[in-house]
Amino acid sequence: MNFKPLSLYNTASKSKQEFQSLTPGIVKMYCCGPTVYNYAHIGNLRTYIFEDFLRRALEYAGYTVQHAVNITDVGHLTSDADTGEDKLEKGAKREGKSVWDIAALYTEEFMRDWERLNLLDPTVWPKATDHIKEQITLVQTLEGKGFTYKIDDGIYFDTSKFPRYGEFAGLDIENQEAGIRVAMAEGKKNPTDFALWKFSPKDVKRAMEWDSPWGVGFPGWHIECSAMAMKHLGETLDIHCGGADHVRVHHTNEIAQSECATGKPFATFWLHGGWLLESKEEGGGKMSKSKDEFVRLQTLINKHYDPLDYRYFCMTSHYRNYLSFGWSNLKSAKEGLTSLRKKTAPLINQVTSIESDLAHEWRDQFTSAICDDLNLPQALGIVNKMLKDINLMEGEKGALLLDFDQVLGLDLGKSDAPAKESFDTLDRELSSLLQERNEARKSKNFARADEIRDLFKEKGYVIKDGPEGAVLEKIQ
């Protein structure tokens, strides 16, 4: 099989590069998953949607993807600087449940959102609590190579021993030091050093804690991703993904600890999804869970949106760009998807194979957009233009839609557009045609009326004249 050349923006090189996998035909892809102490907000979900487009694009290009998404079910601390409250314990306190119940509940809720957004299941969903042994082993390797030191509250990674630390994120370490010094944990050698293993506070029995060679405690947040990625996908990944907010700390630390442990590059490509911002109408700012009320998928469903409306909404902006969320923007996306479904429904029942040069041209255009760093907004524009191409056979349009939907994931093949549509719910193109036919009949221009009737038939509709005016019925 020939792989379509795919160009992806690599955060590590800060440029678009042609993608090559380490093993021909196989892509090892690791995506940082949720910390399951609360529902996911729609900003988190935007990242998983972008990663799903990437997974689908890779498969569309001919690769087999080995895909891992971790579940962080051990509480890491609310701040990136290893201080603050344990997120899971905070959730447990809030709801009067055990941390284990909290983790189970929100893992289930997360999986539900995952399914509703039509995201493809990863090959493996590793859980942090199932990989304590692997995390301890990795810390031991780092200890054996001299990259760690012990202070009162845990085992830390010494970032000064990794000269490239900060290069990935373009961090200005010296200036950062001055700013962070105030909040630095006592005994830390460098402000950027991070915990690999934290000790349980003395005389406190934590709900989640484990024995380790250094004492009872729990792993630092960053170490789990390196340990689980290496276990399930190997020491060097093809692609590592996450949200843009992971670049500065989490991914910088993952790179430091992984590369110091193995002496190999941790990932060839690093891809990051842009932030979801609240539009001015919603108050502005980055969508985050630290606000008391946050918008989650169920919030959209409660307002009668389909989860796939949100998926479609995410396609309207390039994944690396900021995307501004507001109810009016989401409404426009819903209208866009509804209109696409209406155009799609009659075509899906008459799918032929893709044969003509014209159909191949449309497919090439779509593929080029997808393979150009997942340009979904452009791909969506191509879909809409293709549907309007009067020279393209209807059967080929249907076939192309099903083909494109392998990447779009909008379930176009399962179109549930209503079988019977009244005049006012039809999209503009059809309704103006119907109006023209009514006028033609009134002026006794039966030739034109018949022509339009045949045109509808081609689009998969039959016209029924009834007491409430002309109604279109979908041909089954």
- State in angstroms the smallest separation of the CB of 267 from Zn ion: 11
Pick 225 or 380: Cβ nearer Zn ion: 225
Residue 38 or 367: the one with the smaller Cβ distance to Zn ion is 38
Give me the long-range contacts of 309-314 (CB less than 8 A, separation at least 24): 309/333, 309/334, 309/337, 310/42, 310/45, 310/49, 310/117, 311/49, 311/117, 311/118, 311/409, 311/410, 312/336, 312/337, 312/340, 312/410, 314/46, 314/49, 314/50, 314/376
- Considering only 32, 297, 351, 410, the residue that binds Zn ion (CB under 5 A) is 32
Tokens of 336: 């866009």
- Closer of 30 and 456 to Zn ion (Cβ): 30
Across 309-452, the runs of DSSP E, i.e. the strands, are: 323-325, 420-421
CB of 194 to Zn ion, least distance (A): 13
**Region binding Zn ion by CB under 5 A among candidate stretches 25-33, 151-159, 334-342, 383-391:** 25-33
Q: How far is the CB of 286 from Zn ion (least distance, A)?
A: 19
Stretch that binds Zn ion, among 29-37, 51-59, 331-339, 340-348 (CB under 5 A): 29-37
Q: Rounded distance, CA 297 to CA 115, Å?
A: 11
Report in angstroms how near the CB of residue 94 gets to Zn ion at its nearest. 24
Q: How far is the CB of 254 from Zn ion (least distance, A)?
A: 6
3-11, 188-196, 219-227, 306-314 -> range binding Zn ion (CB under 5 A)? 219-227
Identity of the residue, 225 or 300, whose beta carbon is nearer to Zn ion in the bound complex: 225
Angle between helices 221-233 and 252-262 (to 10 degrees): 50
CB closer to Zn ion, 228 vs 379: 228
Count of residues that bind Zn ion according to CB under 5 A: 2
In the complex, what is the shortest distance from the CB of residue 207 to Zn ion, in angstroms, rounded to a whole number?
23
Measured distance CA(174)–CA(80) in Å, rounded: 18
Question: Of the two residues 225 and 237, which places its CB atom closer to Zn ion in the complex?
Answer: 225
The least CB distance from residue 70 to Zn ion, in Å, is 6
Q: Is 223 in the site for Zn ion (CB under 5 A)?
A: no
Would you say 431 and 469 are in contact if contact means Cβ atoms under 8 Å apart? no
Piece in contact with Zn ion (CB under 5 A), picked from 99-107, 110-118, 220-228, 465-473: 220-228
Q: What tokens appear for 428 in the block? A: 């503009």
> Residue 437: which H helix or E strand, with range?
helix 428-442
If the CB atoms of residues 229 and 340 are measured against Zn ion, the closer one turns out to be 229
Residue closer to Zn ion (CB basis): 32 or 308: 32
CB of 257 or CB of 367, closer to Zn ion:
257
Q: Rounded to whole angstroms, how far apart are CA atoms 228 and 3?
A: 28
Residue 440 makes contact with Zn ion by CB under 5 A: no
80 close to 68: Cβ distance less than 8 angstroms: no
Least distance in Å: CB of 348 to Zn ion? 39
Contact 51/310 with Cβ under 8 angstroms?
A: no
Quote the least distance from Cβ 69 to Zn ion, whole Å. 10
Least gap, CB of 320 to Zn ion (angstroms):
19
* Of residues 343, 313, 301, the one with CA closest to residue 115: 301
DSSP reduced 3-state for 239: strand
Place of tokens 């879909």: 383
Of 32 and 379, which has the nearer Cβ to Zn ion?
32
Cβ–Cβ under 8 Å, residues 21 and 27? yes
* DSSP letters for 106-166: HHHHHHHHHHHTTPPPPSB--BGGGGHHHHHHHHHHHHHTT-EEEETTEEEE-GGGSTTTT
- Structure-token pair, residue 423: 């005049």
CB of 229 to Zn ion, least distance (A): 8
- For position 225 contacting Zn ion by CB under 5 A, the verdict is yes
Residue 7's DSSP bridge partners are 18, 372
Residues 6 or more apart whose CB falls under 8 angstroms from that of 153 comprise: 185, 186, 187, 195, 198, 199
Q: With CB under 5 A as the contact rule, which of the stretches 14-22, 223-231, 296-304, 381-389 interacts with Zn ion?
A: 223-231
Choices 32-40, 104-112, 138-146, 261-269; region in contact with Zn ion by CB under 5 A: 32-40
- Would you say 36 or 452 has its CB closer to Zn ion? 36
Which chain residues interact with Zn ion by CB under 5 A? 32, 225
